[in-house]
Amino acid sequence: MTHKLIPRLTAARVVPVVRTQATSHAATVVQWLREAGIGIVEITMTIPDAPALIRELAADPSLLVGAGTVPDRATAAACLAAGASFIVAPWIDPSLAEPCRDAGALLMLGAVTPNEVRAALTAGADVVKIFPAASVGGPGHIRALRSVFPHVAFCPTGGVEPGNVAAYLAAGAAFVGMGGALVDEDRIAAGDRTAIQAAARQVLAIA
């Protein structure tokens, strides 16, 4: 069964992966991205006090908030309780499936090879995150996986940038995750809202 959030993620085409050293920088860039027209964000667990930030952001029903780099079931449960609508791990962890299923949340697990894609699906993944996408073949790798798994929703992440978003989508990605090319902490720290929002609008126009 296809998860109810997949059409929304597919329509968005790009999910910003927010990974910053400072919680305040994460909150700031989410606001800037929203002003630019992006209504979905993935808040990674490498951000200090990430579940608290998720709770704050998820209070706005117009913003779809997910949790990324989720290391274990307990962290997944905390993020879901805080309001996360999707859980992401760049590896395969079957223990994340039950709390997601109980909460009605989408689960995205990481894989690279066909064996790993099968393992991720068996573990309960609704979407398979291909990470790191750029270093294992880029759009060509996604196209090859789609030939074997035509009904799987793939989300390549890692090395995705404005210049290759269209190629990933054309290769069969349902949507992409974009981190540093969109969420640049140096620009955030410098208060360069214009540059961040220009990148966001460029990505939206391409997608």
63 contact partners, CB below 8 Å, separation of at least 6:
30, 34, 39, 40, 41, 57
Q: What is the CA radius of gyration of the chain?
A: 16
Query: Which of 4, 116, 129, 185 is flagged as catalytic?
Result: 129
Question: Which own/partner contact pairs does 183-189 have at CB distance under 8 Å and 24+ positions apart?
Answer: 183/16, 183/17, 183/18, 183/19, 183/20, 183/29, 183/33, 185/20, 185/21, 185/22, 185/25, 188/20, 188/25, 188/28, 188/29, 188/32, 189/22, 189/25
129 is catalytic: yes
The helix/strand/coil state of 102 is helix
Q: Are 11 and 37 in contact (CB under 8 A)?
A: no
Domain coordinates in residue numbering, the chain: 6-206
Continuous segment of H or E residues that includes residue 73: helix 73-82
**Domain 6-206 architecture:** Alpha-Beta Barrel (3.20)
Determine the straight-line distance between the first and last CA of the chain, rounded to whole angstroms.
26
- Digit-by-digit pLDDT tens for the chain (207 residues) are 599 999 999 999 999 999 999 999 999 999 999 999 999 999 999 999 999 999 999 999 999 999 999 999 999 999 999 999 999 999 999 999 999 999 999 999 999 999 999 999 999 999 999 999 999 999 999 999 999 999 999 999 999 999 999 999 999 999 999 999 999 999 999 999 999 999 999 999 987
**What are the backbone dihedrals phi and psi of residue 176, each rounded to the nearest 5 degrees, phi first?**
-125, 155
Active-site residue, selected from the candidate residues 4, 35, 42, 161: 42
